[in-house]
């Protein structure tokens, strides 16, 4: 389909002719501009894409577009804009908050085929990739030249770079290397009308799109900053008699060691679930364990590991140095979602609080869960204050599910009251929309929607996400 076709439709729009939602016509037009296998409308495929990792809400797209290039994304976006159709971008669907659940009748743009490495500067440690490439694949590609991609969410084997940008993902490595926004050098953004812009480090819009959940435009390509593989790495696991003691150790470790690259805490319930699912030799008798990783010059890493061992005293401790052993130490922690999901259904929260409020947030969360007769397992990123509370419930018991929902609201409220945020890593999506009012005033939320509308006036990109429902359509 050539420029003539788009020109005629744009002139009709400019001349004031009303563009109506004619889905049949839209699908016919999309079929013209995409390869034969680039548009999917089968009932089976649409059903698979009704939801993401948050299965409580579903939506049925009108079709799934599967572009291979930025140009094809632009063409799809232009058509959807002309027809007034909402667009929902999707990577691997690992969202825990309904971030890519399609609005009924929307066109879902899958980035699954846009997974190529476009450029790699081995000297400067810069890599340009398509948005559909997975997080882990970037590191695997760069490791041959001595580099790695730092942000490491637990879903890194399957989550995409585009999705990481949409939610500003981080993971345990945030402590040393920051999140996605800190490692994003440039991005190619396709706007709702099909126009596209290149955003670079000196453009404030680059930071704005990190965490915008696709509502300001679709990122099709990204240039990422890589990091040199360190000379030495060391990992350790230490068990503690109380969560308070584990947190005290983590605070002292942060103060004393500049080689720390990751520092996580798992409580007893989380440890037992993961050990039953993927044994990692964690100390089962401990009320909490600390998993730490240090990296840097060998002499510094050795010295600081010894210092942390002394700091831990007589607590159960395992240390290891080889990549295989380090991976084994983290395997249980990285399998926590699968471990808990195998035993129970769960709601996973990702509130964040100042480090000084971690103990209070944990205690309050456990009290709230107890009041609602629910089990809770806790995992913490001690470096940035993210508290993952896993509320376990029986999916066949509607009352338990209702109690879990109420409990989640209260835990988020506690986080906001402790000077923190209702979401740290997952994004807002559908699940956390109401909770934003716990953290932001109506005026602040309006200012945020104003920024979104500066990019997408009609707000047809991933509609219904992020902001409370009462704000939808607000001018």
Q: What is the pLDDT along the chain (475 residues), one digit of tens a residue?
A: 443 444 434 433 434 333 456 899 999 999 999 999 999 999 999 999 999 988 889 999 999 999 999 999 999 999 999 999 999 999 999 999 999 999 999 999 999 999 999 999 999 999 999 999 999 999 999 999 999 999 999 889 999 999 999 999 988 889 999 999 999 999 999 999 999 999 998 899 999 999 999 999 999 999 999 999 999 999 999 999 999 999 999 999 999 999 999 999 999 999 999 999 999 989 999 999 999 999 999 999 999 999 998 888 766 788 888 989 999 999 999 999 999 988 878 999 999 999 999 999 999 999 999 999 999 999 999 999 999 999 999 988 999 999 999 999 999 999 999 999 999 999 999 999 989 999 999 999 999 999 999 999 999 999 999 998 877 655 4
Asked if residues 253 and 357 have their Cβ atoms less than 8 Å apart, the reply is no
Tokens found for residue 399: 């009352």
Q: Which of 191, 206, 228 is the last residue of a domain?
A: 228
Is residue 102 exposed (0-12), middle (13-18) or buried (19+ Cβ within 10 Å)?
buried
User: Using CA atoms, how far apart are residues 77 and 81, in angstroms rounded to an integer?
Assistant: 6
The CATH number of residue 240's host domain is: 3.30.70.2190
Asked if residues 267 and 378 have their Cβ atoms less than 8 Å apart, the reply is yes
Q: What's the pTM?
A: 0.90
> Do residues 127 and 220 both lie within one domain?
yes
pLDDT of residue 100: 96
> Do residues 321 and 375 both lie within one domain?
no
User: Using CA atoms, how far apart are residues 74 and 217, in angstroms rounded to an integer?
Assistant: 11
Tokens found for residue 444: 């602040």
Closest CA to 211 of 195, 229, 187, 241: 187
| Domain enclosing residue 362, as ranges | 344-417
303 domain residue, yes or no: yes
Q: Which of 228, 244, 275 is the last residue of a domain?
A: 228
Q: Given CA atoms 344, 52, 455, 150 in this order, what sign does their dihedral have? A: positive
The CATH number of residue 7's host domain is: 3.30.43.10
Closest CA to 268 of 107, 186, 378, 184: 378
423 domain residue, yes or no: no
> Do residues 36 and 85 both lie within one domain?
yes
> Do residues 396 and 454 both lie within one domain?
no
The CATH number of residue 178's host domain is: 3.30.465.10
> Do residues 311 and 379 both lie within one domain?
no
Closest CA to 351 of 379, 386, 383, 378: 386
> Do residues 380 and 402 both lie within one domain?
yes
pLDDT of residue 473: 55
What is the count of structural domains for the chain?
5
Helix (H, G, I), strand (E, B), or coil: what is residue 405? Answer: helix
> Do residues 121 and 106 both lie within one domain?
no
> Do residues 330 and 236 both lie within one domain?
yes
Q: Looking at the DSSP assignment, which residues form a beta bridge with residue 134?
A: 160
Closest CA to 158 of 340, 337, 387, 344: 337
Q: Given CA atoms 356, 362, 367, 372 in this order, what sign does their dihedral have? A: positive
pLDDT of residue 469: 80
pLDDT of residue 315: 64
For residue 227, CA distances in Å to 146, 147, 204, 207, 320 come to: 8, 5, 23, 20, 22
Strand pairing report for 107-110 and 63-65: parallel
429 domain residue, yes or no: no
The CATH number of residue 374's host domain is: 3.30.70.2740
Q: Which of 228, 245, 269 is the last residue of a domain?
A: 228
Asked if residues 270 and 336 have their Cβ atoms less than 8 Å apart, the reply is yes
Closest CA to 48 of 36, 32, 33, 60: 60
> Do residues 321 and 380 both lie within one domain?
no
pLDDT of residue 22: 86
> Do residues 39 and 84 both lie within one domain?
yes
């Amino acid at each position: 389909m050539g420029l003539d076709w788009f020109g005629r439709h744009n002139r009709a729009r400019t001349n004031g002719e009303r563009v109506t939602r004619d889905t049949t016509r839209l699908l016919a037009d999309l079929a013209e501009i995409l390869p034969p296998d680039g548009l999917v409308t089968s009932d089976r495929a649409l059903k698979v894409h009704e939801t993401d990792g948050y299965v409580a809400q579903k939506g049925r797209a009108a079709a799934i577009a599967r572009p291979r290039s930025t140009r094809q994304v632009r063409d799809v976006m232009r058509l959807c804009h002309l027809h007034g159709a909402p667009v929902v971008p999707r990577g691997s669907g690992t969202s825990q908050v309904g971030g890519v659940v399609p609005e009924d009748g929307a066109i879902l743009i899958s980035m699954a085929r846009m997974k190529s490495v476009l450029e790699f500067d081995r000297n400067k440690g810069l890599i340009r990739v398509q948005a559909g490439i997975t997080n882990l694949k970037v590191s695997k590609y760069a490791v041959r030249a001595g580099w790695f991609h730092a942000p490491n969410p637990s879903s890194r084997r399957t989550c995409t770079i585009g999705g990481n940008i949409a939610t500003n993902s981080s993971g345990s490595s945030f402590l040393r290397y920051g999140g996605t926004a800190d490692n994003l050098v440039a991005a190619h953004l396709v706007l709702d009308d099909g126009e596209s812009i290149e955003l670079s480090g000196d453009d404030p819009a680059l930071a704005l799109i990190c965490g915008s959940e696709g509502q300001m435009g679709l990122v099709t390509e990204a240039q990422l900053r890589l990091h040199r593989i360190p000379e030495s790495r060391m990992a350790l696991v230490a068990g503690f008699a109380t969560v308070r003691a584990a947190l005290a150790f983590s605070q002292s470790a942060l103060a004393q060691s500049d080689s720390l690259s990751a520092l996580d805490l798992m409580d007893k319930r989380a440890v037992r679930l993961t050990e039953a699912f993927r044994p990692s030799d964690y100390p089962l008798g401990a009320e909490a364990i600390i998993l730490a990783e240090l990296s840097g010059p060998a002499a510094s890493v050795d010295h600081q590991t010894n210092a942390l061992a002394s700091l831990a005293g007589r607590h159960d401790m395992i240390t290891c140095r080889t990549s295989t052993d380090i991976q084994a130490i983290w395997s249980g922690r990285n399998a926590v979602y699968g471990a808990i999901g195998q035993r129970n259904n769960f709601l996973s929260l990702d509130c964040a609080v100042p480090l000084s409020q971690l103990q209070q947030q944990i205690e309050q969360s456990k009290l709230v869960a107890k009041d609602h007769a629910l089990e809770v397992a806790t995992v913490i990123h001690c470096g940035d204050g993210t508290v993952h509370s896993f509320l376990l419930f029986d999916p066949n018991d509607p009352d338990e599910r209702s109690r879990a929902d109420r409990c989640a609201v209260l835990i988020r409220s506690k986080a906001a009251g402790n000077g923190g945020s209702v979401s740290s890593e997952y994004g807002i999506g559908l699940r956390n929309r109401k909770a934003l009012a716990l953290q932001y005033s109506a005026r602040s939320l309006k200012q945020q929607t104003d920024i979104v509308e500066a990019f997408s006036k009609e707000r047809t990109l991933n509609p219904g996400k992020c902001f409370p429902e009462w704000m939808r359509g607000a001018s």
